[in-house]
């Protein structure tokens, strides 16, 4: 049997999220945390699949997200970590509190890669680029002005990505638990550890961020969010009797001065 698609695709919305959808999702997650993402859209009253909700929360709505360009220090760290870990964006993001794997991946592809190339470094191996002329077997590529697409710029994957299994096996041991707990790729982890959420959250609030930065009100207590994430879902669901969870989704939002207008 093939696996079920992540959601019954029929009737589910795709594409950019509206402010109203964001509001529903945030209100729901702040009130109840999440148990299984598949149920979140249903319970929050969203016509989205759980995957989409998770992604939206992880990459955009989480209260501890920093917004805006990576600082020089962060960029340096990303480069170092990439040299160490390869394209393991989630692992890299885990070492940068308040940053998401998607954000780092995008930043890498749009900014850092170019920078490294300008510096004459191979963005994959982090070694000085070997001139294509040394590869006479591919005359067509040698004509390309942009090394981006030249094969000589793309060494065998194994050279930079860890040899299958090895790095994968080690990385979790190498990464301190604390850092892992700050993982940007896990919504629950992202808001739960007090050590990182408190620091990164304050940073995110303080950071001017991009124009569309999610401006979380100071009154959002991330420790409280932490607790919410770990709520007793069994009881919530058993009392829900299906779609109706018996809780006003926006009930708790007065506490956090929830205002989507302000965010956007």
Partner DNA sequence: AAACGAATCAACCGCATGTCT
Partner DNA sequence: CAGACATGCGGTTGATTCGTT
Scan residues 118-177 and list those touching DNA (CB under 7 A): 168
d(CA 240, CA 55): 25
Hey, how many other C-beta atoms are within 10 angstroms of the C-beta on 33? 22
Determine contact, residues 207/63, Cβ cutoff 8 Å.
no
Stretch that binds DNA, among 107-115, 125-133, 236-244, 252-260 (CB under 7 A): 107-115
Comparing CA positions, the residue from 86, 63, 88, 76 lying closest to residue 180 is 88
| Tokens coding 31 | 């009130």
Per rule CB under 7 A, is residue 31 in the interface with DNA?
A: no
Interface with DNA (CB under 7 A), residue from 24, 32, 41, 50: 50
Interface with DNA (CB under 7 A), residue from 8, 11, 16, 246: 16
d(CA 28, CA 229): 11
Angle between helices 19-32 and 222-229 (to 10 degrees): 80
Number of amino acids touching DNA (CB under 7 A)? 47
Determine contact, residues 217/55, Cβ cutoff 8 Å.
no
Site map 74..103 versus DNA, x via CB under 7 A: -------------xxxxx---------xxx
For DNA, give the closer residue by CB, 105 or 252: 105
Interface with DNA (CB under 7 A), residue from 28, 37, 216, 258: 37
The CA radius of gyration of the chain, in Å to the nearest whole number, is 21
CB of 61 to DNA, least distance (A): 8
Query: For binding to DNA (CB under 7 A), which residues are involved?
Result: 1, 3-4, 6, 13-17, 34-38, 48, 50-52, 54-56, 59-60, 69, 87-91, 101-103, 105-107, 109-111, 114, 168, 183, 185-188, 210, 212
């Amino acid at each position: 049997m093939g696996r079920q698609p992540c959601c019954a695709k029929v009737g589910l919305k795709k594409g950019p999220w509206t402010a109203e959808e964001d509001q529903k999702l945030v209100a729901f997650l702040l009130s109840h945390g999440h148990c299984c993402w598949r149920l979140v859209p249903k319970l929050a009253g969203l016509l989205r699949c759980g995957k989409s909700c998770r992604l939206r929360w992880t990459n955009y709505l989480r209260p501890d997200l920093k917004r805006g360009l990576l600082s020089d220090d962060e960029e340096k760290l990303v480069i170092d970590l990439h040299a160490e870990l390869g394209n393991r964006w989630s692992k890299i993001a885990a070492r940068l509190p308040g940053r998401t794997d998607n954000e780092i991946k995008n930043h890498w592809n749009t900014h850092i890669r170019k920078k490294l190339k300008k510096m004459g470094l191979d963005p994959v191996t982090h070694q000085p680029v070997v001139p294509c002329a040394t590869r006479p077997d591919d005359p067509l590529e040698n004509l390309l002005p942009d090394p981006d697409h030249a094969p000589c710029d793309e060494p065998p994957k194994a050279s930079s990505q860890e040899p299958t299994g090895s790095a994968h096996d080690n990385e979790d041991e190498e990464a301190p638990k604390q850092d892992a707990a700050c993982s940007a790729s896990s919504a629950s982890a992202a808001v739960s550890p007090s050590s990182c959420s408190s620091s990164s959250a304050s940073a995110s609030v303080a950071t001017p961020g991009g124009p569309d930065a999610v401006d979380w009100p100071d009154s959002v207590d991330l420790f409280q969010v932490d607790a919410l994430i770990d709520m007793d879902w069994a009881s919530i669901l058993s009392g829900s009797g299906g779609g109706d969870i018996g809780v006003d989704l926006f009930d708790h939002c007065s506490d956090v001065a929830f205002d989507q207008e302000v965010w956007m």
